[in-house]
A and B are shown apart, each in its own frame.
Chain A
Amino acid sequence: MSTAVVILATIAVGCVPAASALAAASWPRRSPAAAIVLWQALGLGWGLAAVGALIAFGATAPAAVSGGALERLASIVTSGAPAAAIGVIGTVRLVCLAAGVVLLAVLVWILAAATASVLRARQRQRILLSLLAHGDPKVPGALVVDHPAAAAYCLPGLRSAIVISAGALDLLDADELAAVLAHERAHLRERHDLVLLPFLALLRAFRWAGVTSRAYRAVGLLVEMHADDRALRHRPARELATALLRVGAAGASGVPSGALGVAHQAEECEVAARVIRLLRPAPGLSNAAVALIVTASAAIVALPAALLVLPLR
């Protein structure tokens, strides 16, 4: 078995406990941006390494063909099945090769399916908003929907929108509304929806694996905290904190219980965690720590990518 296969398999398997540990760690709250980068790298690196390990192992010809995993795969495809390798090990190799190709197709497919479903939901929102929503001088640039429940959200995309319900408009004062708008604008400007999309795809496809939902929740919370940080550049922390508490508390009582779902318990902690973070900000990570995280992230992606292309035996 070649070194490349061992390294790729180690990365693919290692990404899972690493994701669990990252979801449970507390340091990401001190530098959400760096942690988000690491999450992206873990997701992408896992995909590359898992597909790469299977293909590299399956495509290892007994002799003759050298080169990176992709090159070997290409040579097998062009020259027909590795006839010399038939036997027990040859069969195992063929199965791994097929599994690698299937896994790659599945990953591409789930990402496309998640994207399509998100785009459909947004399109429906856009049409409904164009029929129902109106502007309001209290929240310049945002759309207002006449409903008593307190809600504030943004609709990401090329034609993005920030939506505030009439209930939230009544509930919050001018400063708090400005803080909400600053937070939502950060989401839209930095396209946080794209950060979450791969984890949504993994969650939809591998719901049975607990790590996917933990990862999704962790990235979702980090994205919110990062948008909070961005909003703090323009607004004081207290406005954002009171706005969060008012909208959060109104949301719990104003919505029919059927709409809240089982995640309620976990969600409660999210607003509290964000408010506590605003009240007692922990110092951000040092530049050296951030640089280390970014370097590690680059390595997690670059190593499997290189092993897929470059020869290593």
Chain B
Amino acid sequence: MDVLWEAADPLSVREVSGLLTDRDLAHTTVMTVLDRLAKKGFARRERNGRAWHYRAAESREAYVTELMLSALDQTGDRQAALARFARSVSGTEAQALMRALGALGRVPRG
């Protein structure tokens, strides 16, 4: 997937294999992975001559944003699907509590 994200143009299976130099993967393995990515909607493919060419359906940033938004979303369903460490606290409230922490003896960092 990283290879597809970095490429400007759609890539053929052979080109993807060529770019994955750090790993010795069989042509058919790469083909299967690309096919699965396409089926799940992460890659789009188009026929170019006799070979399929693949490109990323969305930019990496778009997926990171989706991941983070669903993590920070505070509506019920998401909250149950993922357990968030801390929900929002206002800046003034946080400062007041930080001062209270400091007053307990050791001064916190920052």
Contacts and interface: CB of A to CB of B under 8 A. Distances in A.
A149 B78 CA distance: 18
Given A132-B64, A151-B68, A261-B75, A248 B87 contact: yes
A286 interface: no
Contact of A272 (B75, B76, B89, B109): B89
Given A129-B67, A220-B79, A259-B69, A270 B87 contact: yes
A75 interface: no
A187 B83 contact: yes
A132 B61 CA distance: 10
A260 B88 contact: yes
A152 B85 contact: yes
Contacts, number: 176
Given A128-B63, A255-B88, A268 B93 contact: yes
- Interface size, B (range): 35 or more
A56 B66 CA distance: 49
B44 to A, nearest CB: 15
A187 B64 CA distance: 24
B28 interface: no
B104 interface: yes
A298 interface: no
Contacts of B75: 261, 263
A196 interface: yes
A201 to B, nearest CB: 9
B82 interface: yes
> Lowest 3 CB-CB distances: which A-B pairs, in order?
A248-B89, A249-B94, A152-B85
